Amino acid sequence: MHRLTVRVQPNASADRVEQWETDAAGRTYLKVRVRAVPEGGKANVAVEKLVAKWLGLPKSAVRVVTGAKNRLKGLDIDGPPELAAKLAGDQGNERAGN
């Protein structure tokens, strides 16, 4: 099991994984944009689907476990040990790739 923190922008013009960023408190997260609205969990489902696709995993492998009603969310990801390298990412301000 892996953990990933993402910052979500709902109501975006397109679904996409952007770049790694660090907030003022020093927490690193992956910035993602989804077209879904933040109502009834629609944006959370869109985030799970987008991150699963980005990682090449089935949708069921990614779950929002913290921050369901916040922009900053914690995801649990079921994947192979090699996935840890991609989840650690470059973590500079470079594009994460789609």
Domain boundaries, the chain: 2-88
What value does the mean pLDDT take over residues 1-27?
Answer: 93
Which tokens sit at 26? 């020093």
**What DSSP designation does 85 have?**
H
In angstroms, the CA 36 to CA 33 distance is 9
> If you classify domain 2-88 with CATH, what class do you get?
alpha beta
Q: Give the number of other CB atoms < 10 A from CB of residue 6.
A: 20
pTM of the full predicted structure? 0.84
Q: What is the pLDDT of residues 31-57, one digit of tens each?
A: 999 999 999 999 999 999 999 999 999
Q: Determine the pLDDT at residue 89.
A: 64
CA angle at 79 for the pair 77 and 81, rounded to the nearest 5° = 120
